[in-house]
Amino acid sequence: MSTIENQTEAADWLQSVRWNSADNRLDLLDQRLLPDEIIYLPLVTSEQVWDAIKQLAVRGAPAIGISAAFGVYLGVRDASGGREQLLEETVKQCDYLATSRPTAVNLFWALDRMKQRAQELASEGGEPEAMKQVLLDEAKLIQSEDEETCRLIGEHGLSLFEDGMGVLTHCNAGGLATARYGTALAPMYLALERGMHLKVYADETRPVLQGARLTAFELQQAGVDVTLICDNMAGAVMSKGWVQAVIVGTDRVAANGDVANKIGTYSVAVLAKAHGIPFYVACPISTIDMNTPTGGDIPIEERHEDEITQGFGKRTAPQGIKVYNPAFDVTPNEYVTAIITEKGIIQAPFEENLKKLFAQA
């Protein structure tokens, strides 16, 4: 990634993805540096956006999709030629950005939407410069819709919580991972706004520590009562009776309700079941992939061994050790109490109820 610039002006919340109209570029909050530094990466090419997604400068399923949509615009804005060439270039950029990470279906959903928009515009006989502007507007729309979607997820999620409850979450499915509010963290923000007290336990989330660096950070900044725990403490905290609900985000829900999320989520779901604690998954409908029949069909990203052996620059394992580093795991649907979406709360039988949800949409 090329140049960086520091933007430390006070914001009442940290927006992970910002379209900078003045400079016609994408400013991405570099989440690798949180919570120490608040630095936005000024991105002007689709290659920079691809890198930012791959290297986790931006992460979280909805935020990846939003960034990629802006990346498409950055990739085509200087294209020359007629509408058919622009359409071809848009498809090429979408296919390229789709190779950045494999698991979060929101990436492919957002890119398909950009492709479709370009196809519509071309078939309507749009002029290339006007088409480019509409593609930028579509990326902005994906972002603004996500904010509203997350707020609605928060409303539905909050209906499952009561004042004084202990809630455990894993990874970061907060404002940083979305346009605003988050999915799993949205009910926590709405609870705060309404004077309801939730006691949140944030798993630190090895190996990249999204829970410690991002969830603990953003909840603390907002004034939510949050306690950081190591991943291997979740069972102990549950056994003390401190947790009345678990809520997590997801990168992809299969058609049968199996859920892929950050590695370690499955262990938390098993622990929740063992303790009789409901396990909720919060996501926009765009995260539900009816074309993927089961969790076993979800492509799971494997990441570099250095994340485990020398995360954050300090070697903590012997040289040459064999490492297995999947970024996500799959929680089978029988561990899921409910899936909270912007359209309401889905319960088992998931296969049947997800079909109904999509039939209505």
Query: Please, is 129 exposed, middle or buried when counting C-beta atoms within 10 Å of its C-beta (0-12, 13-18, 19+)?
Result: exposed
| Contact between residue 344 and residue 156 where contact means Cβ atoms under 8 Å apart | yes
Nearer Cβ to ligand MRU (134/300): 300
Of 176-184, 188-196, 216-224, 266-274, the segment contacting ligand MRU by CB under 6 A is 176-184
> Is residue 177 a contact residue for ligand MRU (CB under 6 A)?
yes
Query: Please, is 18 exposed, middle or buried when counting C-beta atoms within 10 Å of its C-beta (0-12, 13-18, 19+)?
Result: middle
DSSP-derived secondary structure for 37-68: --EEEEE-SHHHHHHHHHTTSS-SHHHHHHHH
- 101 is known to lie in a ligand binding site: yes
> Is residue 61 a contact residue for ligand MRU (CB under 6 A)?
yes
Of 33-41, 87-95, 156-164, 248-256, the segment contacting ligand MRU by CB under 6 A is 248-256
**Minimum separation from the CB atom of position 347 to ligand MRU (A):** 20
> Is residue 15 a contact residue for ligand MRU (CB under 6 A)?
no
Of 14-22, 82-90, 178-186, 344-352, the segment contacting ligand MRU by CB under 6 A is 178-186
Question: Residue 192 — left, alpha, or beta (φ > 0 → left; ψ -120 to 50 → alpha)?
Answer: alpha
- 315 is known to lie in a ligand binding site: no
Among 90, 183, 286, 341, binds ligand MRU (CB under 6 A): 183
Among 146, 204, 251, 258, binds ligand MRU (CB under 6 A): 251
220: which strand partners? none
Sheet holding 338-341, edge to edge: 225-229, 199-203, 166-169, 245-248, 279-282, 338-341, 344-346
Of 10-18, 57-65, 74-82, 139-147, the segment contacting ligand MRU by CB under 6 A is 57-65
Residue nearest to ligand MRU (CB): 249
Among 110, 114, 327, 340, binds ligand MRU (CB under 6 A): 327
259: which strand partners? 253, 331
DSSP state of 21: T
Nearer Cβ to ligand MRU (65/126): 65
Q: Are strands 199-203 and 225-229 parallel, antiparallel or unpaired?
A: parallel
> Is residue 228 a contact residue for ligand MRU (CB under 6 A)?
no
> Is residue 169 a contact residue for ligand MRU (CB under 6 A)?
no
**Minimum separation from the CB atom of position 81 to ligand MRU (A):** 35
Q: Which of 197, 299, 211 is nearest to 249 (CA)?
A: 211
Q: CA torsion sign, 51 to 121 to 113 to 342? A: positive
Among 30, 251, 258, 289, the active-site one is 251
**Minimum separation from the CB atom of position 44 to ligand MRU (A):** 23
- 61 is known to lie in a ligand binding site: yes
Query: What are the Cα distances from residue 265, in Å, to 82, 225, 319?
Result: 48, 22, 28
Residue found by looking up tokens 């509408």 in the block: 83
Among 46, 93, 149, 261, binds ligand MRU (CB under 6 A): 261
- 210 is known to lie in a ligand binding site: yes
| Contact between residue 98 and residue 111 where contact means Cβ atoms under 8 Å apart | yes
Please indicate whether residue 251 is annotated as part of the active site: yes
**Footprint on residues 89-108 left by ligand MRU (CB under 6 A):** 104
Query: Please, is 332 exposed, middle or buried when counting C-beta atoms within 10 Å of its C-beta (0-12, 13-18, 19+)?
Result: middle
- 60 is known to lie in a ligand binding site: yes
In the complex, which residues of this chain contact ligand MRU (CB under 6 A)?
A: 59-62, 104, 171, 173, 177-178, 182-183, 210, 249-251, 261-262, 327
Active-site residue set = 251
Binding residue numbers for substrate: 59-61, 101, 210, 261-262
